[in-house]
Structure 1
Amino acid sequence: MSEATPDAPPPRGAFGLRAALAVLGGILLMALMGMTVTDVIGRYLFNAPLRGATELTELLLAAVVFLGLPAVALADEHVTVDLVTDRLPRAAQPWRLAAAGLFSAVVLAVVAWRVWVYASQIGGYGGTTTTLAIPIAPLGYFCAVCTGVGALLTAAVPAIALARHLKGH
């Protein structure tokens, strides 16, 4: 999406949020990597795999993926395929990007809502992981919040770019 506004500066406050998302994502990835290395070394050298490594990998991977939603939306770096839309007049591109952002935000908002509902169901019956008995609902709520923030940013970033475009003309 960012091809229509490559020289536009990001919205105010974006740098702090972007830095926080990058640091948190880096911490989660380092934890995932360290745990995987520990598990592999323990399994093959000492015949003692890390207990619950599969569960922790699943939880950390879900956290990293859903944390990436707001990060991608904030950077306006969604994967796009422009088969027809790139042939539209240049003046229509900001409008197209804003409309696509709004549509995508609605889809993400529905996903966030359903993940929240599912997390509350899991929390209602006390769902936990099998080996380590880690509660699953907090991860579900985290995923729902990240998706909701991603939805807001997916709508806001192209809308801000459109407003800047209109202000410049």
Structure 2
Amino acid sequence: MCKDLKDKYVELIQQNEGIIYKVINLHIDNTEDKKDLFQEILLQAWKSFPKFEERSSFTTWLYRVSLNTVFTFRKTTNKKVETSVESLPDIKSIELNEKPHELLYLLIKQLDKVDRTIMTLHLDSYKNKEIAEILGINVNHINVKIHRLKNQIIESYKKSTHG
């Protein structure tokens, strides 16, 4: 692999490593699994980088590599790595005035893996077309899902704060 390609890869990863952490943290709870997955995503991205044709942005491509790696990990391990509602902190214990983002994060973590990913990408200001590209889903389906997920999160918020 040529030095320029390696340097470009390292620079892009350093600029965008937050994407990798975000994907891992939304889908995995175990600290050791998170560390292993970070390394695995870097490896998978490195292997695929020479084929990156820049038809999409690097961030879109990195999200896709990260998600595919996490989903493959979840399929191939026998451990239960899905976040369960029981393993989450009590929503009522969060001080809404101090940390409203924590409540939103917890509500999103309660969604299934695809819905969780859609909402995270939406909140990261990805366009619906980009979200569809990352997930390989029809853009109209994304439009409907986002509308429904917003309503679902609002209802969950209301239930958690008003009983």
Give the TM-score normalised by structure 1: 0.28
Question: Using CA pairs below 8 Å that are at least 6 residues apart, which structure has the higher relative contact order?
Answer: 1
